[in-house]
Chains A and B, each alone.
Chain A
């Protein structure tokens, strides 16, 4: 879980322009509320998750609970990834 959060955080900081207080976002912080991601940003993030973790994000799984925070993403990836 921690490794996934670190990897996703690194991807966000490398690829999005995140400045000021937003760059210090916590694992539980909402990307939307902290202006880190809009809908286009989520599409980019989904592309990264699919490629990095070998998963397919289904349409019905594109909900904020799965994608709108590092905690949400890590929990989601763990459930999706082949064991």
Chain B
């Protein structure tokens, strides 16, 4: 009988971190072959440009590019600004040197000041907290979705003497803060494409599966790229590749952070609402039709909460579909699009 056992049944009985285990050596070769095919054969570019934040995703992407194309055909860009972490830049430089790729630093603070990034953001924050000034720190944090409520964002500010205040963001202020902050990713991308064009390289995008699937990126900012070689990998798999490449401990052990707002902010606080290892499992379980009670057991929570997590995954997918969309046209142009 030509019938294989149901994949779903197999998956259900195996909800353990083992489901995300990678054969790193095989996966690196598979990705590298794909990168060469895309960049060399499909795009006819001479190499890859990768913006390096010092985080695990961009570090692994740089390592994959160096492996795929050879270090001479990879260019690393370090694009700090006055609110990004200095230690991140140091880590990025260390990775570039370890890989033997060319790299360059361009501080984008002046550009962000000139274009109004900080001013527009702070103006919106002051509409919520009038006492906020340049000496305060801020961040926004997601809430609601994994408790079965509608997702919303809280604005958190911290005075110089450590006093913390929090308030739910009205829509207008939320949109302006996000729009202003997105200048950071969009200015970075503009610079990346300058260097990619002058070198005739392709721009490498660094989202992992959680970010790509759940829409955690800025359209035409970090979401813009010519190819995204780790978009299929769960975050814990990216960490496994970091260890496989022998990247520094600080990179292999660092918790994912946004490095976009002035207060320390983890990615789960900002967007995912679960730490990455739990989010990896929740997404895998959702996509393999694992019943909510089994996910709940693994997470150590109740079934209702697990159902809320599943619904939050679906909501984020639906809400951020626009971010993935190409510019739409009224009539299809098969001569171009096929």
Fill in one digit per residue for A51-77: 1 if any B CB lies within 8 Å of its CB, else 0. Answer: 000000001101110010000000000
Q: Which of B148, B152, B168 is in CB contact (< 8 Å) with A39? A: B152
Task: Using known A-B contacts A40-B171, A43-B171, determine if residue A59 contacts B315 with beta carbons closer than 8 Å.
Answer: no
Complex-state Cα separation, A62 to B319, whole angstroms? 17
Instruction: Tell me the count of chain B residues lying within 8 A, CB to CB, of chain A.
Output: 17
Complex-state Cα separation, A34 to B191, whole angstroms? 41
Complex-state Cα separation, A47 to B152, whole angstroms? 12
Instruction: Tell me the count of chain A residues lying within 8 A, CB to CB, of chain B.
Output: 15
Q: Which of B149, B170, B315, B318 is in CB contact (< 8 Å) with A62? A: B149
Task: Using known A-B contacts A59-B152, A63-B149, A64-B150, determine if residue A38 contacts B319 with beta carbons closer than 8 Å.
Answer: yes
Q: Determine the chain A residues whose CB is within 8 A of the CB of B144 once the complex forms.
A: 59, 62
Q: Determine the chain B residues whose CB is within 8 A of the CB of A44 once the complex forms.
A: 171
Task: Using known A-B contacts A59-B143, A59-B152, A64-B150, determine if residue A38 contacts B318 with beta carbons closer than 8 Å.
Answer: yes
- Residues in A34-52 with C-beta less than 8 Å from chain B: 38-40, 42-44, 46-47
SS class of chain A's interface: helix, strand, loop or mixed?
A: helix
Asked whether, in the complex, the Cβ of A63 is within 8 Å of the Cβ of B150, the reply is: yes
Q: Determine the chain A residues whose CB is within 8 A of the CB of B171 once the complex forms.
A: 40, 43-44, 46-47
Q: Determine the chain B residues whose CB is within 8 A of the CB of A46 once the complex forms.
A: 171
- Residues in B278-333 with C-beta less than 8 Å from chain A: 315, 318-319
Q: Is B174 an interface residue (CB 8 A)?
A: yes
Task: Using known A-B contacts A38-B318, A59-B143, determine if residue A43 contacts B170 with beta carbons closer than 8 Å.
Answer: yes
Closest to B149 in A: A62
7 A-B pairs with the lowest CB-CB distances in the bound complex, closest first: A43-B171, A39-B151, A62-B149, A62-B150, A38-B319, A42-B150, A44-B171
16 A-B residue contacts at CB 8 Å?
A: A32-B315, A38-B315, A38-B318, A39-B150, A39-B151, A40-B319, A42-B150, A42-B152, A46-B171, A47-B170, A47-B171, A47-B172, A63-B149, A63-B150, A64-B148, A64-B150
Chain B interface residues (CB < 8 Å from chain A): 143-145, 148-152, 168, 170-172, 174-175, 315, 318-319
